[in-house]
Structure 1
Amino acid sequence: MYLTYDEFKSLGISDISEENFNESITKAETQIDMVTNFFYADGLHDLQNDLISSKKRLNMRAKAFKRALGIIIYYAIETGVSNSNDAISGNVKSLSIGRTHLDTSGTASVTYGKSAVPNEAMALLFRWGFLYKGVDYR
């Protein structure tokens, strides 16, 4: 598990219940793994080591990954969109988050491609290099 409930609460994203968090975490982890090409899932990188690393870039990258996952979890709970099928089918016609209300014919405008990952999470992941698709020349 990439993110615990206590870590989620400390991010200050939302005050959701632990039950809702536990229901959403697995699907959210699947979504973040798919868009990051399984960056932390494949064993080549270690999230916990990056969090305690003395190298600032690794530390900030790991924190951004956790924050992006928190945003995905919050989005899934607030909208009911927790997988790509939900995002593609457009089952969500309108939603309210805080004082913001969106009335749309689907979720295409607030998620990345055909995923259930909100654009805010993608911006964080992009900024820290998780979406780089280049070829290793070594």
Structure 2
Amino acid sequence: MKLLRIALPLLATLFSAPSLANNNSGFGLGVAYDLGAGVTAQFRGTSIFVNSDAIAVDMRLQNFYNDRRTMHAYIDAGGFFVGGDHDDYNDKAGVRLPIGLSFGIAPSLQAYIQAVPNFAFSDNDRKEGFGVDGALGVRLRF
């Protein structure tokens, strides 16, 4: 619940941006499995993932496009926070470096898959350290 107090105002601010009113605004909204199942939004080079227990924010470092620009590989850098259920002892936060592949399914529909190397910090020694996760999602582009 403490995460929702942060995530909901952040998403409301993102959705109310005046530049979203025009077409091809660089905005996408969808569903994903990243730190669990949740909602994903992207505005230009910034991606946000939110669910009831976690939040991740990533900024685009580099894009690599194919000739027709229908598919591209990318490298992002960001951070994350995962709540530990009802116990602050199991909370963890850290840095991550998503490396992914994105492709168009339809003119306004984009799918992506990524490997997410990360380093987590936590009060619980078993939850701390280097790891590699994955993410899979679909976004509707506006």
Range into which the TM-score falls when normalised by the shorter chain? under 0.3
Tell me the TM-score normalized by structure 2.
0.23
More helix as a share of residues: 1
Higher strand proportion (structure 1 or 2): 2
Report the TM-score when normalising by structure 1: 0.24
